[in-house]
Structure 1
Amino acid sequence: MRRRSRAARRRRTLFAIAAVAAVILACAGGFAAFGPGPSARTGDVTEVLLPRGSGVAGVSAALKSAGVIRSEWVFQVLARATGAGRSLKAGEYAIPSRASPLTILSDLTAGRTIIRKVTLPEGLTSAMIVRQLQSVSWLTGEVTVPEEGTLLPETYRAERGDTRQSLLDRMRADQQTLLERLWASRKPGLPLATPQEAVILASIVEKETGLRDERRRVAGVFINRLRIGMRLQSDPTVIYAVSRGEPLGRGIRASELASRSPWNTYAYSGLPPTPIANPGRASLEAVLDPLETRELYFVADGSGGHVFAETLEAHNANVARWRQVERAKAAGG
């Protein structure tokens, strides 16, 4: 009897110890799950990149390595117990300092990733856009240079790890969507036979003026010239003929103005064979809804804009004034 009594007491003692241990573990696990995590090593947040296909184990390892959770095991148990492990989303996250594992899980299942921006200015050639994308270190993958004038310059949202090709595909698709809409509502009677011709003219307008308020007026001048068969005589087309749009770093030479390149609008009437850059939204809108005007000429006014004229005589006077401005600038320099 005594032996049985001692054995029973031993079992009760072991059970009590196990129960206390379970309570302690439950409390510790609850604190680990809901309590604050580690402080950020630097600053207020820690940026963590979670690659696609990581799984719960891979995610917990990445979080532990970044120093935002204390225990991979607690995170994995919590992820599986809540079912969140099936909904973790890849991407780059900014984890606040001392965020609890439960808070982190909430962010990861909601996909609250860091959204970055890439701004591609209007008027760049396709080669320039590719170079700019290649300089963005958090984009991935190699690309070839797309056809000139097929991209829509804008500010695009992207995430770390996105491919450069996916961004180019979006730029191409966005331009096509915009062009279809603008072409369908274009002003009647324009001397533009196809949407591609609109892009070509828009690229010239884009390179001729950086002032948004001038674009429709510049477009109106070029439309007037096309209507009467007058050469466009646009300097940016000559530069494209010489360097494919790369800055010359000097003035245009007389020999270049006389070159027989099909892009030289001093030598040939009509539009060049391709765009000379990637025009922005405002320039595309301008050529498809140009200002109604009788003007055929414009020249720089020395202040960043242009002065316009209907007659060659008035234009020559404007050019003479511009030459004076140039000489004054050269003397002052």
Structure 2
Amino acid sequence: MYIKKIVIAVLLLGLVGMGIFAWYVYDTIFAPNTAFNNSEAHVYIPTNASFDKVVAELEPLLQDVASFKVVAEKKEYISNIKPGHFILKPGMSNNDIINTIRSRNVPIMVKFNNQERLENLAGHLSRQIEPDSLTLLKVFRDEAFLDSTGFSKETALGMYIPNTYEFYWNTTASDFRDRMQTEYDRFWNETRVEKAKALGLTKNEVLSLAAIVQKETAKVEERPRVAGVYINRIQLGMPLQADPTVIYAKKLAENDFDQIIKRVLYVDLALDSPYNTYKVKGVPPGPISMPDISSIDAVLNYEDHDYLYFVADVTNFGYHKFAKTLAQHNRNKAAYVQWVNSQGVNR
């Protein structure tokens, strides 16, 4: 009878021990282990990250870091770390978290527009995807790639058509660039190519002209009319005489793209530069900024009219007054100059 009691006691202790162990296993692996109240948390794990780096990324989001480490080791995550962008939900267990960061890399939406140079584009993108700006810029400027695709250092910016694109956060710089070339080729469909040919312009020239149009007016609905002015000048053999190209030429010559120039002076018009369209006829050797789709299509679908001149309309800010003759333009320009002087804008 005494031995029977001992056996029962041992069995009961074993059951209690097993229960405690089972509870520990469940609590470690399957119990919630998040410490945030938002609807979701975004985790970015870099390429070649160590486990310590992963833990550092996750630590603010976890209630119990030690249990996470235990489960990560048991599930062999430590030797199989994946880079990427991952989304955690409140109430996730260690098991859920590890399964997520091991296999559920979530794409992000990458946006860019209005970038003035490749340097600006690289800096803008480095805040959205993993590669840093120097790595991106090096890849964008790669001479072998530019030669193979028909671009140059002057025209390379035109390959990046502004839009919103889906990418994995850990996309490499070269993969990003190559995807943009694919998007560029897709953008230049047969219809757009034929319209460019009808204008007697290459794709690069269309992009360069579109950049000027975009700089001239922020009003999308006015861009086809502005484009029509420049098309008329090209067809007549006139210089474009576009102030934004002079501004760009000045910034380029002085290697200072941070300066703000609100007014072009007569001395600027004498600047010796292939971008100075007051001195050099035709379209500049490359875009002076990144034209968006509306500007590109404004050139390809320009408004057919007889205007040769335009100047800012001081009675309807943001828009312009257009003129067919120089005399009419000079009257419009006089009103603009008077207004600019009244505002004390000297540069």
**Normalized against structure 2, the TM-score is what?**
0.74
Instruction: Quote the Cα distance in structure 2 between the aligned partners of 1:128 and 1:73.
Output: 41
The question of whether the paired residues in 1 share the 8 Å contact of 2:130 and 2:169 is answered with yes
CA contact (8 A) 1:191 1:223 kept: no
Q: CA deviation at 1:170?
A: 4.2
Say if 1:45 and 1:329 are closer, same or farther in 2 by CA, change over 3 A: same
CA distance in 2, matches of 1:252, 1:103: 61
> Do 2:115 and 2:121's aligned partners in 1 also have CA atoms closer than 8 Å?
no
Deviates more, 1:195-204 or 1:90-99: 90-99
AA at the equivalent of 1:179: W
Aligned-partner Cα distance in 2 for 1:64–1:270: 56
2:30 matched to which residue of 1?
Answer: 34
Q: Counterparts in 2 of 1:240-255, with a 5 A limit?
A: 240-244=248-252, 246=257, 247-249=259-261, 251-255=263-267
2:161 aligns to what? 152
In the alignment, is residue 317 of structure 1 matched against residue 331 of structure 2? yes
Once the two structures are superposed, the pairs formed by residues 102-117 of structure 1 within 5 Å of their partners are: 102-105=95-98, 107-108=100-101, 111=104, 113=106, 115=108
**Shift of residue 89 of structure 1?**
5.0
SS in 2 for 1:26: helix
* 1:68 alignment partner AA: L
Deviation digits for residues 143-174 of structure 1 (CA, Å, limit 9, x no counterpart): 33643433223345556555556545544543
CA–CA distance in structure 2, aligned partners of residues 63 and 195 of structure 1 = 45
User: 1:123–1:207: 8 Å Cα contact kept in structure 2?
Assistant: no
TM-aligned CA distance change 1:78 to 1:323, over 3 Å: same
How far, CA to CA, are the matches of 1:220 and 1:137 in structure 2? Answer: 37
Aligned-residue CA RMSD in angstroms? 3.9
Distance 1:123 1:78 in 2: 48
Match of 1:50 in 2: 45
In structure 2, distance between residues paired with 1:33 and 1:314: 80
1:48–1:62 contact (8 Å) kept in structure 2: no
Distance of aligned partners of 1:21 and 1:301 in 2 relative to their CA distance in 1, 3 Å threshold: same
Report the alpha carbon displacement of residue 257 of structure 1 after superposing the two structures with TM.
1.0
Output aligned runs, 1:110-189, within 5 Å: 111=104, 113=106, 115=108, 119-122=111-114, 124-133=116-125, 136=127, 139-141=130-132, 142=134, 143-144=137-138, 146=141, 147-148=153-154, 149-150=157-158, 151-156=160-165, 166-180=175-189, 183-186=192-195, 189=198
Q: Which residue of 1 aligns with 2:233?
A: 225
Could you tell me which runs of 5 or more consecutive residues in structure 2 were left unpaired when the two chains were aligned: 142-152
Q: Please point out which of 267, 286, 310 is paired with 1:298.
A: 310
Identity of aligned residues (%): 29
Partner of 1:190: 199
SS in 1 for 2:310: strand
Q: Look up the match of 2:144.
A: none
Deviation of 1:44 (Å): 6.7
Aligned-partner Cα distance in 2 for 1:10–1:205: 94
Aligned-partner residue type, residue 199 of structure 2:
L
Structure 1 stretches of 4+ moved >6 Å: 8-12, 57-60, 84-88
Question: Which piece of structure 1 moves more, 136-145 or 253-262?
Answer: 136-145
